[in-house]
Amino acid sequence: MNYSEQTVLRAFQIYTKLARDGVANKDAVQLYRADDEIRGLLDAFSREVDCVVIGTSEQLFLIPETKLSPFHVSNDWIKRNYLRSGATNGDIYLLYFSTIILFGSFYDSYQSQEPTRQFLRIDEWVRFIGERIDQLKTHDEEELKQLEKEFSYNWSLIIEKWEDMDDIKETAKKQSGNTISRFSFMDTVKRFMVDQELIQEIGNDEVTLTEKAKTIIQRYFMEVEYNKGIFEFIYGFEREDEYAGNQ
C-alpha cells in the first residue's frame, strides 16, 4: 500500500511518542480510530518491536507482547527499582502472582468483560492472596510440579515466599520500608502497579483499576489464547468450592 508522506510522518510522530513515553493523548486516539492508514502503520511499527497498540477513550498505550521486545520490563529491572537488596526470582514470581490476584479480584469470573467492583482495600488484597496460596497448598508436590510446567509459574516458590514473610505486624494499617512482612511486600507491589499506571490510589488504603489496566485485562487476561488458562486455574478453585456446596 502506498501512503502519503504526511500520513507516514503523522503515524511515526505518534509512534515516537509511544516509544518514548509509553502513552499518547486523546488526539492520537482519535486518529488511530478514525484513520485506517495511520492505524495500519502504527500497528506495523509496533509489531516490529514485538508490541501492540491498545487504546482507551482517552489514551493510546504501547504494550510489549513478548520478552523479546526492547520495551519489555525485565525481572532484573524490577529487582533493581522495586525490590529489596538480595531479592530473588521468588520475589518476582510473588509480585506477578499478586498482580494477577488483584486483577481477578475486580471481576466475578475469568471471562468477565467489565469489573464488578469499584475498588479494593489493601487488606482485602492480602487476604485474597492468602486464600489462593492456601488453595495451592492443597496440591501435593508432584501436582505442583506438573502445574508449574503447564503454567510456567513456580507455584512452590510462590508458596514458600509468602509463608516465609513475617506476619507479626499484619494488623498495622500501613507498612513500608524494608520490613519483610506481607503488608510491606504489598506496598512494594502497589508502588510498582501505580508506576505502571495499572492502578490508582483513592485513599483509605484503597486502589482502583485504571482504564489502561481494564483494557489490558480484557485483551489478554480474559482471552484463553493469551492467558493460557491462568485466571481459570487460579479462580477455578472458587467455582469448584461453590459447585460442591450446591450439591
- Which of the two residues, 173 and 29, has the higher pLDDT score? 29
Residue 178's Cβ-side half-sphere holds a number of Cα atoms within 13 Å equal to 4
CB neighbours of residue 169 within 10 Å: 12
What does pLDDT average to over the chain? Answer: 82
Residue 37, pLDDT > 70, answer: yes
Question: What pLDDT does residue 173 have?
Answer: 45
What is the DSSP code (8-state) at residue 69?
Answer: S
Interval 119-160: pLDDT, tens: 999 999 999 999 989 988 888 888 888 877 777 778 888 999
Share of the chain above pLDDT 90, in %: 45
Question: What pLDDT does residue 231 have?
Answer: 65
Question: What pLDDT does residue 28 have?
Answer: 94
Residue 243, pLDDT > 50, answer: no
What is the mean predicted confidence (pLDDT) over 25-47?
A: 94
Element (H, E) at 64: strand 60-64
Q: What's the chain's Rg over C-alpha atoms?
A: 20
The type of residue at 211 is E
Environment class of 101 (CB within 10 Å of its CB; exposed 0-12, middle 13-18, buried 19+): buried
Domain ranges across the chain: 5-64, 75-245
Top mean pLDDT of 83-92, 103-112, 235-244 is at 83-92
Element (H, E) at 44: helix 36-47
**pLDDT category of residue 246 using cuts at 50, 70 and 90:** very low
Separation between Cα atoms, residue 198 and residue 186, nearest integer Å = 15
Backbone angles phi, psi at 191, to 5 degrees: -60, -40
